[in-house]
Chains A and B, each alone.
Chain A
């Protein structure tokens, strides 16, 4: 009962303080809101960069052209050699004969007409596979190139490679930005609450003099930080949900071209909102505790 009364009092006092020091609360809420909006943007951006990277990695395949006239035994040996490489996704490995390739070319295509005219199919049989780690794609391609009966090895080559590594840099930059912004939010809330606490230092010193335990003194400030953090996260959450949904609909789910596909809002906005709520609340509490601690020394 005693604990319930103390907690109840802490929550009541925190609520009163938020309204009593309304202008300061508003300053704290808005600074939190602004930083959390940027945090939200960075999170959504990171999600999309991740998804684009994954998409590119998925479509990136290695094509191995087998020399003409290679018999079946040698083709099988080559297949085993390719599968032996750790970076090759074994399930993705596919063997296509010249006839398979010819069949896969649409009838309307000029190439098909040319092929139809020729007596002999000039196409080479191929192995197509995906790699586990795109960064090692050129090593893998070079290794395969050295195998017997390999005429040529082709993959997305430098453009795809550069794009993937560039996206990775962007993703890392986003993660660093999110972490930095969380610190900024913590700093802002901590400072705003410091001002609130400064105006209440008299009250704190009286509480200490009359024998109030430090935990009980901290409690209302902890709850106040939590309230401010949560209130500060509401606007960013609303903007995240509706803003991203609008953006997704507006762009039709694609950015610049069909290749850059945006992540479906339903899969990310709620997770991002939850992250914002937790970050806002936690950072509010930690910032508040940090601010009150200096008045509880001695």
Chain B
């Protein structure tokens, strides 16, 4: 059984916009998958369904054997502890230091401070930010802030890492660095990575599985694929 399975998934928002229509996907454990498509194609909705920020209108979303679409609101946090999310806009807390930002989820889980320290130090080492742990987010470059966001996402060793256009706000050099970090984590932690992106250069360079969504429909799904610019005929 695949780690992630989407069966006949439909998502229609309350304003009537259909973001996804009959999406069927299977993603295996440890896979690295790019999800591409123009703005408004449904990439972000797909991500949000995986970490239950949105609910499906029809169909089933299974993550690690759990039917996410049937998860109760009060139990969503259990899923989120197994899923790390990396955002384009980092979503860091400005009043907390790098260390505190990364430790934040673990503190709210009620873990012991020694355990938290060990996990946080492991995460900062993996993203190469060991010398910046006392800095505040506004003292860091965009690339560094994104590394903090990645460290926070991986600090609890999640089985799934969802990256929502993580390089969208970064220059090409920084983007490459970030992609190297994520690829390394994918190999070392054997976490499944699903990354939505617009970055043609990255997709073409990394030669991973590429799923292309257009108008809410999966139009292509290729192993070691390239960036595909799909246009209406």
Task: Give Cα A206 to B93, complex, Å.
Answer: 8
Q: Is B73 an interface residue (CB 8 A)?
A: yes
Residues of chain A with a CB closer than 8 A to B104's CB: 206-207, 210
Task: Give Cα A212 to B106, complex, Å.
Answer: 9
On whether A206 and B110 interact (CB within 8 A), knowing A211-B81, A213-B77, the answer reads no
Chain B, Cβ-Cβ closest to A207:
B108
A211 and B109 contact, CB distance less than 8 A: yes
Q: Dominant SS at the A interface?
A: helix
Residues of chain B with a CB closer than 8 A to A207's CB: 104, 108
Task: Give Cα A265 to B147, complex, Å.
Answer: 65
A210 and B110 contact, CB distance less than 8 A: no
Chain A window 1-31, contacts with chain B (Cβ cutoff 8 Å), 1 for yes, 0 for no: 1110110010000000000000000000000
On whether A210 and B51 interact (CB within 8 A), knowing A203-B93, A297-B73, the answer reads no
Task: Give Cα A209 to B54, complex, Å.
Answer: 12
Cβ < 8 Å to A, chain B residues 65-84: 73-74, 76-83
On whether A206 and B91 interact (CB within 8 A), knowing A5-B112, A6-B110, A211-B105, the answer reads yes
Give the total number of A-B pairs whose CB atoms are below 8 A apart.
Answer: 65
Chain A, Cβ-Cβ closest to B106:
A210
In the complex, how many angstroms separate the beta carbon of A33 from the nearest chain B beta carbon?
A: 29
Chain A, Cβ-Cβ closest to B55:
A298
B110 and A209 contact, CB distance less than 8 A: no
B91 and A9 contact, CB distance less than 8 A: no
A211 and B74 contact, CB distance less than 8 A: no
A298 and B73 contact, CB distance less than 8 A: yes
B110 and A208 contact, CB distance less than 8 A: no
Residues of chain B with a CB closer than 8 A to A2's CB: 110-111
Cβ < 8 Å to A, chain B residues 46-69: 51-55
Q: A residues engaging B (CB < 8 A)?
A: 1-3, 5-6, 9, 202-203, 205-214, 216-217, 296-298
- Besides A211-B109, A212-B109, 9 more A-B contacts (Cβ < 8 Å) are A3-B110, A5-B111, A206-B93, A208-B77, A211-B80, A211-B83, A212-B105, A214-B77, A296-B73
Q: B residues engaging A (CB < 8 A)?
A: 51-55, 73-74, 76-83, 85, 91, 93, 104-105, 107-112, 152, 156
